Each structure stands twice: as structure tokens, then as C-alpha cells.
Amino acid sequence: MNYENTPTFAAAQDQIDPLNTFRSQFHIPKRNGEDCIYFCGNSLGLQPKLTEQYIQQELDNWKANGVEGHFSEDRPWVNYHDLSKASLSRLTGGKEHEVVCMNNLTTNLHLLLASFYQPKGKRVKLMIEGGAFPSDHYAAESHMKRMGVDPKEHLITLKPAKGAIFSTQEIEDAVRQYGEELALVLFPGVQYYTGQFFDMKAIAKAAHEVGAYAGFDLAHAVGNLPLTLHDDDVDFATWCSYKYVNSGPGGMSGIFVHERHSNDPDFPKLTGWWGHDRKTRFKMDNHFVPNQGVDAWMLSNQNIISSAAHLASLAVFDQTSMQELRAKSINLTGYLEHLLLTDPIIAEHIDILTPSNPAERGCQLSVFIDQNGKAIFDGLIEAGVILDWREPNVIRVAPTPLYNSFTDVWNFCDIFKKLIQQHASK
């Protein structure tokens, strides 16, 4: 696309955008009496207008039926997790029996590490990226300690050889370097700080070649990029749904376990009542028989209210495809990048940490500001732009294709330029 730095061009792109009606399906927060520019879907997605209806239906079911709500109405609670499987399969590229909605992300990460971090002999090392989100780092350390492995000696915190961005080759080389000492590689799908999208297929292949498992935290990837977890031969993954999947603060998580593991009833796992074969669960004989597939990892019955919000958002995603959203995302983020780098005032005072190759990023650009970054960020918030601040001097800007527009991008850059002139230009 040949971009132009004018509001007229942005408005014209919004007119021809085939996804432009989706914005009206979301509640846009107001600031200064007008719709804000909401570029924080990488932290908390906006509320779909369907959410209230879906939650109210379950409240009405509870009110009318009490415990019988588990077996009554249109969406019986006892099998509520089944209702999201088809949608999650489309979002993740996992088969329906490989994906399930349950718990929250860190809980699920612990459950999966209990299954897939199984040190034995000299194969004890666990590799994460050096800038891992704290929960991932803490979880990795805790499981190593639980298994009597010293993280100081055996936790590999891989860092890029240069700058903030990894090459796929250096990750593959590091995996091969540790070889038969490596038990597990745990990486994000998209790095939360830089926005880099990792080649999960290549990382999984390298791990498998040396006899290790490969798992991924997809908190910033699900709903952001098309994923192909089954075909990429990923062993396991988990994600949250409150960022790009718009399922509400602290909303439901989900997991993927490849069928070669999830179809093995003897594969190690922490077990709970809801993971027991649903046909005999209520016999209560305390002889665990696992559900088929990934449902064997379930512990407890669903949080129905949170799951209802999740279903409401998935109903919006079901109206389009990740391929269509990705096409808009590439253009929308590309327009943001163009405006930031071609305006001489802005370009003089920023660096974009996120890869310039669209294939290596989602919709987030992480922008480093060289002077008075916090004052500029505060000015953006005051002007009605909601985005995210990360130390030191970085704003994470995420134009989300479901509800953001080219006009949002142009207006943001116009406000950003004026604040740079005020706070950073000499």
C-alpha cells in the first residue's frame, strides 16, 4: 500500500475497509466527551456489546434454575467448555480435541510445566528468553526447584546477540548447543515488550531434533496473528483471553496440547475431577479415568460468568477470520510505522524496537522516546489516547484491527507530534 500522511487518506481507507463495521460492535471509552483512541488492546481488549447479553443469560439461568442450570437452558453449564472449542480451534490452529478453555494463564502454565518439564539424567536444562514476562520466569524457576534442579545452574535465559530482537537462527543454534542437556524450550509467541513474533515452527523443530519439548506462552499472539499450532508441531501452549480476544479483565485462559501427548492417557499431568471421563465422572469412585484429548488437563468446572464473556467475544471473531484480520492489521500497523518514520519531527526522537518485517510482528509497535518520554505519555493520556507505558521510555502502541481505524492512527500521530515538539524537541 502507498501511504499518505493526510487525514483524507486515512478516512478514505476507513471507507473501503471491509472490516469497518466491527468497531460498532464494541464499547469505545469516552475521553473529553469523545471516543478515545484506544491502542491498548495488547493489555486489555475492549468490551464487545454482546458481552452483557451473554452474561445476563447465565445470570437469568442461575436465578431461574439454581443448580439445575448445569443441565438446563440453551447452554448447560456442565459442558460449557465445549462451546468455545470450534472458535479456539480457528484462532489457534489446534484441533478441537487439542484445545480447551479453562483457568487463567499462569495457572495453566504451571499445569503444563508439571507435565512437560520432566528432567531426567543429564537432560535437566530449561530455556526461556532473557526478557521473559515475570510470571513465566517465576513459573520456570519454581518447577525446576520442585524437581530438585538448581535454576542458577540450569535455567538458560537466552538474550539476543545484538539489540532487542532475536534471529531465528540464534535461537536454533542455542537449542542445538545445549542438545541432550535440554529438557524444555519455553518461549512467547509474541514478546510482550518488543512485539516480536517468533517462528514457533522452527523453534519446535530445533527442540525436537535434540530431544526436548517446546511450549509457548501465547498471551500476545492469540487473536493477534493467525496461528497453526498443530501443523507447527508445538507440544503445548497457553494463553489469556483478555488482551486481543476481548474477554474481560482477568478473563479465561486456554491451553493447547498436541494430540500425540493429549491422546496418551498415561502422559504425566496434575489431575482433577473435571478432567475425569465425563461419562463416569459422577460415579465418584476415585479411580481417575482421563477425558479424551486435552480435556484430561481440566481440574474444575467452569467459571461460567467469565466463560460467558469469553463466548461473547468469540462470537465476534466467528464473523470474520484471522486471515482477514491479519490483512487489515498489516496495513494498519504499516500505516502507523510509515507516519512515525516519515515525519521528520517524530522520527528524530524515536526508535521502533519492534521488527520492521511485518512477518515478524503483530499489531504492536514498541516506540522508544529519547527525551521526556513520561511527560509525552502523560500528555497522550490527557488528550484521550489510551496506550501502555513501559520503562525505560517506551510506549507500546497497538492498533487492533477489530475496532481501530486508520483515522485513529493518523490522529494519534498528530497528537504525538505536537507533544514531541512541546517536550522533546530542542
Domain holding 234: CATH number? 3.40.640.10
| Per-residue pLDDT at 424 | 81
Taking phi over 0 as left and psi of -120 to 50 as alpha, with beta for the rest, 179 belongs to: left
Q: Do residue 213 and residue 295 come from a single domain?
A: yes
Q: Is the dihedral of CA 94, 98, 101, 102 positive or negative?
A: negative
Nearest to 362 by CA among 238, 140, 192: 192
Rounded to whole angstroms, how far apart are CA atoms 162 and 353?
Answer: 12
pLDDT in tens, 72-115: 878 999 999 999 999 999 999 999 999 999 999 999 999 999 99
Residue 111, C-beta contacts closer than 8 angstroms, at least 6 positions apart:
103, 255, 269, 270, 297, 299
pLDDT bin (cut points 50, 70, 90) of residue 207 is very high
Count of domains forming the chain: 2
Residue 346, C-beta contacts closer than 8 angstroms, at least 6 positions apart:
339, 340, 413, 416, 417, 420
Q: Does residue 353 sit within a domain? A: yes
Kindly state the average pLDDT of the residues 202-216.
98
pLDDT in tens, 1-14: 899 999 999 999 99
Q: Does residue 377 sit within a domain? A: yes
Burial code (b: 16+ CB inside 10 Å, e: under 16) for 261-279 equals bbeeeeeebeebebbbeee
Q: Do residue 200 and residue 175 come from a single domain?
A: yes
Q: Do residue 154 and residue 187 come from a single domain?
A: yes
Q: Do residue 270 and residue 352 come from a single domain?
A: no
Q: Is the dihedral of CA 409, 414, 419, 425 positive or negative?
A: positive
pLDDT in tens, 308-330: 999 999 999 999 999 999 999 99
Kindly state the average pLDDT of the residues 278-300.
96
Q: Does residue 56 sit within a domain? A: no
| Per-residue pLDDT at 326 | 98
- Domain extent at residue 395: 7-47+321-423
| Per-residue pLDDT at 73 | 78
Q: Do residue 42 and residue 148 come from a single domain?
A: no
Q: Is the dihedral of CA 388, 110, 360, 316 positive or negative?
A: negative
| Per-residue pLDDT at 74 | 87
**Mean pLDDT score of the chain:** 97
Q: Does residue 70 sit within a domain? A: no
Q: Do residue 310 and residue 334 come from a single domain?
A: no
Q: Does residue 66 sit within a domain? A: no
pLDDT bin (cut points 50, 70, 90) of residue 426 is low
Q: Do residue 137 and residue 24 come from a single domain?
A: no
pLDDT of 242 strictly over 90: yes
Last residue of a domain, one of 266, 282, 317: 317
pLDDT bin (cut points 50, 70, 90) of residue 236 is very high
pLDDT of 401 strictly over 70: yes
The percent of residues in the chain predicted with pLDDT above 70, rounded, is 100
Q: Does residue 65 sit within a domain? A: no
How are beta strands 236-240 and 253-257 bridged, if at all? antiparallel
Q: Which residue has the cell 481488549?
A: 45
Q: Does residue 63 sit within a domain? A: no
Q: Do residue 254 and residue 330 come from a single domain?
A: no
pLDDT bin (cut points 50, 70, 90) of residue 240 is very high
pLDDT bin (cut points 50, 70, 90) of residue 132 is very high
Give, for 389, the enclosing helix (H) or strand (E): strand 388-390
Q: Do residue 145 and residue 251 come from a single domain?
A: yes
Last residue of a domain, one of 282, 317, 352: 317
Nearest to 184 by CA among 241, 228, 139, 133: 139
Rounded to whole angstroms, how far apart are CA atoms 5 and 385?
Answer: 19
Last residue of a domain, one of 278, 294, 317: 317
Rounded to whole angstroms, how far apart are CA atoms 169 and 152?
Answer: 25
For 107, the 3-state DSSP assignment is helix
Q: What is the DSSP string of 132-179?
A: --HHHHHHHHHHHHHTT--HHHHEEEE--SSTT---HHHHHHHHHHHG
List phi, psi (to 5°) of 292: -70, 140
Rounded to whole angstroms, how far apart are CA atoms 241 and 316?
Answer: 13
CATH of the domain at 384: 3.90.1150.10
Rounded to whole angstroms, how far apart are CA atoms 55 and 306?
Answer: 8
